[in-house]
A and B are shown apart, each in its own frame.
Chain A
Amino acid sequence: MPFIPHTRGDVRRMLDTLNDGAGADSLDTLFDEIPAAIRCQPLTGVPDGLSEMDVTRLMRERSEQDAGALCFIGAGAYEHHIPAAVWDLASRGEFLTAYTPYQAEASQGTLQVIYEFQSMMAHLTAMDASNASVYDGASGLSEAVLMAIRANKKSKSRRILMPRTVSPLYRSAVKAIVEGQDIELVELDYHRQGGHIDPASLKAYEGEDFAALVIPQPNFFGVLEEVDLLTDWAHAQGILVIGCVNPLALTLFAPPGDWGTTGADIVVGEAQPFGIPLSSGGPYCGFMCCKMEFIRQMPGRIIGRTVDLEGKPGFALTLQAREQHIRRAKATSNICTNQGLAMTASTIYLSLLGAEGLERVALASHKNIRELAQATSKSGSVSRLFNRPVFHEKVLGLPVPVAPVLASMATQGVLGGFDLSADYPELGNALLVCTTETKNAHDIQRYADALAHALRSE
């Protein structure tokens, strides 16, 4: 075991041994060989620390900005009803850790919860295996890209077909994570009337070498993709398929394992819709599933069920040779933890609702977006941009710029949606709006009235 000096005396004695016994003046001189330009600079943008009292005041002020408004923003984070039992159970001391425990002999309860989570996610996605979760949906997609590059032995390229119908936030996270690793993300455009990936547009890429195609379902516009055609096309080209899905939608639509004739190869997404509050953007919980043939390329913890010496069932970490504590620099990922607490909440949520409850949540969310689209179309000046089926989000076209309309709606207590104009300027004044089961007919009418009022005053 190396001894890391940490008292001032230790450091001095360590420095004295350097440079063939001549010694070094200070720790800083040890970093001299790193060019100044790439060394860590003082963090000028970060303010000084605050007292607990000041932090509490700041957080209270911030939380009041969210409180009370009727939220119709989706775009990757969804407000669903969370039964009180979910966090009452998840906050128990026995569960309250973000870490996957190593010690099977001391952690059977937690390991079983993770095993149940993996089983439920594998079942929902119709895939063979699931890991113990990753940080969030966007980091899950980044890991899926890296995994596909390792797993696709037929492809000699480090290129990924990345549709613009994938969340721009996810795409930017993926770019940040994989760009430095010599991986090329090739942007795939979408059909302007449908708001989906036009399968015919893939012809242009035939014969080119890609490691994987990402297929969002539903996509960032809420629109359903032609998953069967896209999957079959990719597999015919030797391209792996990464499904990036809202797991709630899988209760209504074909799960990725059933896409096309051969099914998706890797499936990722955000488990936030399952019992995790919006919390201004996190912490959330990513999930990651795959076909059995690729499991050794999967990053993250995996819990397996086994038997002990007496033949009794038990749970333990499995396939650990993929991970960094064994494979070091060649590990499948440096993700060695999971979102333990959020994952626990999702597992409890799924157990409470069951298959039927989940389907009812999904159906109610879908029914509400149809009603909202009808209610808003009465004003005459609001159009529906895409003509293809959606899950629980829809893109509305406004006659005027979106930002001031949203600001006006907010003053009426309604958070009206996500302004698409920065990420998709070609769509004009486009607004992405979401409904979940938490909205009722009165809420939808309030939305339509607030929007009409905002448009009149513009």
Chain B
Amino acid sequence: MSNTPEELKYASSHEWARLDGDIVTVGISDHAQEALGDLVYVELPSVGDSVQAGDEAGVVESVKAASDIYAPVSGEIVEINEALADTPEIVNSAPYTEGWLYRIRISDVSELDKLLSADEYAAQAH
């Protein structure tokens, strides 16, 4: 049974988002990392890139698949998780904490309302 923390928002494409001030941290859900299997590589956008909600921003690659990551909200990429370059497996072991992918300075906070709640996402994912 995969874990879906209550305090996060989710995209139906399996990203999660957490708001701190105007910064949204983005990762992939426990369900997504489980479905992908052991990650071997994570391609992240560049700091300074501006993204629209729904844009492709990054790729996660496991031994059996490679999947695009979609930006859950619009804004500018302000930080990427450098640790993933050498240790992509932390996305598997800690998808909601050390395994975050990147941070976006959100341009319109109301976009978060369009994302799913933990219950809604859990209902969709299972």
A residues with a Cβ closer than 8 A to B are 153, 296, 321-322, 326-327, 330
For B64, what are the chain A residues with a Cβ–Cβ distance below 8 Å? 321, 326
Interface of B, helix, strand, loop or mixed by DSSP: strand
A142 to chain B, nearest CB (A): 23
Check if B41 sits within 8 Å of A296, measured CB to CB: yes
Give B30-47 as 1s and 0s: 1 = Cβ < 8 Å from A's Cβ atoms: 000000000011010010
Q: Which chain A residue lies CB-closest to B66? A: A321
Q: Which of B40-94 contact A (CB under 8 A)?
A: 40-41, 43, 46, 61-66, 68
Contact, CB under 8 Å: B46 / A327 = no
B90 → chain A closest CB, angstroms: 19
Please, how many residues of chain B have a CB less than 8 angstroms from a CB on the other chain? Answer: 11
Chain A residue at smallest Cβ distance from B40: A321
Q: For A321, what are the chain B residues with a Cβ–Cβ distance below 8 Å?
A: 40-41, 61-66
Please report B residues at the A interface, Cβ cutoff 8 Å: 40-41, 43, 46, 61-66, 68
With a CB–CB cut-off of 8 A, which chain B residues contact A330? 66, 68
* Between-chain CB contacts (< 8 Å), 14 pairs: A296-B43, A321-B40, A321-B41, A321-B61, A321-B62, A321-B63, A321-B64, A321-B65, A322-B66, A326-B65, A326-B66, A327-B66, A330-B66, A330-B68
Q: What residues of A have a CB within 8 angstroms of the CB of B63 in the complex?
A: 321
What 8 pairs between A and B have smallest CB-CB spacing? A321-B66, A321-B61, A327-B66, A153-B46, A326-B65, A326-B66, A296-B41, A321-B65
Nearest chain A CB to B72's CB is how many angstroms away? 20
Q: Nearest chain-A residue to B43 (Cβ)? A: A296
| Interface majority SS (helix, strand, loop, mixed), chain A | helix
* Complex interface: chain A residues within 8 A of B40 (CB): 321
Residue of A nearest to B49 (CB): A153
A326 to B66, CA, bound (A): 7
Report the nearest A residue to B62, measured CB to CB.
A321
Give the docked Cα–Cα distance between A382 and B65 (Å).
61
- For residue A323, give the distance in angstroms from its CB to the closest CB of chain B: 10
Distance A326 CA – B65 CA, assembled complex (angstroms):
6
Alpha-carbon separation in the docked complex, A385 to B61 (Å): 53
Identify the closest chain B residue to A328 (Cβ): B66
Alpha-carbon distance A201/B40, docked complex (angstroms) = 44
Report the separation of the CA atoms of residues A163 and B65 in the bound assembly, to the nearest whole angstrom: 38
Within the complex, the shortest CB–CB distance from B77 to chain A, in Å, comes to: 12
Rounded to whole Å, the gap between the CB of B46 and the closest CB of chain A is: 6
B41 nearest CB neighbor, chain A only:
A296
Docked complex Cα distance between A326 and B64 (Å)? 8
Inside 8 A of B66's CB, which chain A residues have their CB?
A: 321-322, 326-327, 330
Question: Inside 8 A of B62's CB, which chain A residues have their CB?
Answer: 321
A444→B26 CA distance, assembly (Å): 69
- How near does chain A come to B2, taking the closest CB pair, in angstroms? 23
Bound: A327/B60 CA distance, A? 12
A157 to B20, CA, bound (A): 34
Q: Across the interface, which residues of A come within 8 angstroms of B61, CB to CB?
A: 296, 321
The distance from the CB of B33 to the nearest CB of chain A, in whole angstroms, is: 15
State the CA gap A153–B49 with chains docked (Å).
10
Query: How far is it, in angstroms, between the C-alpha of A327 and the C-alpha of B64 when the chains are bound?
Result: 10
**Chain A residue with the shortest CB-CB distance to B60:** A321
**Residue of B at shortest CB range from A331?**
B66
Q: Which residues of B sit under 8 angstroms from A296, Cβ to Cβ?
A: 41, 43, 61
**Bound-complex Cα distance A296 to B41 (A):** 9
A129 to chain B, nearest CB (A): 14
Q: Which residues of B contact A327 (CB under 8 A)?
A: 66
- Extra contacts, 12 of them, besides A321-B62, A326-B65 (Cβ < 8 A), are A296-B41, A296-B43, A296-B61, A321-B40, A321-B41, A321-B61, A321-B65, A321-B66, A322-B66, A326-B64, A326-B66, A330-B66
Q: Which residues of A contact B68 (CB under 8 A)?
A: 330
A153 to B61, CA, bound (A): 19
Contacts of A322 in B (CB 8 A): 66
From A327, which residue of chain B is reached at the shortest CB distance?
A: B66
Chain B residues with Cβ below 8 Å from A153 are 46
Q: How far is the CB of A457 from chain B (nearest CB, A)?
A: 65
Residue of B nearest to A330 (CB): B68
Closest partner residue, chain B, to A321 (CB atom): B66
Nearest-neighbour CB distance to chain A for B23, whole angstroms, equals: 23
Q: Which residues of A contact B65 (CB under 8 A)?
A: 321, 326
The minimal Cβ–Cβ distance linking B68 to chain A, given in whole angstroms, is 7
Query: Whole-angstrom distance from the CB of A61 to the nearest CB of chain B?
Result: 51
Q: Give, as a whole number of angstroms, the nearest-CB distance from A329 to chain B.
A: 11
> How far, in whole Å, are A49 and B68 apart by their CA atoms in the complex?
48
Chain B: minimal CB distance from A330 (Å): 7
B45 (CB) vs chain A CBs: closest residue: A153
Separation in Å of the B84 CB from the closest CB of chain A?
14
A124 → chain B closest CB, angstroms: 28
Q: Which residues of B contact A326 (CB under 8 A)?
A: 64-66
Greatest chain B CB density within 10 A among A153, A296, A321, A322 is at A321
CA–CA, A180 and B5, complex, Å: 46
For A322, the closest partner residue in chain B by CB is: B66
Which A residue's beta carbon lies closest to that of B61? A321
Q: Which residues of A contact B41 (CB under 8 A)?
A: 296, 321
Point out the residues of chain A lying under 8 angstroms from B46, CB to CB.
153
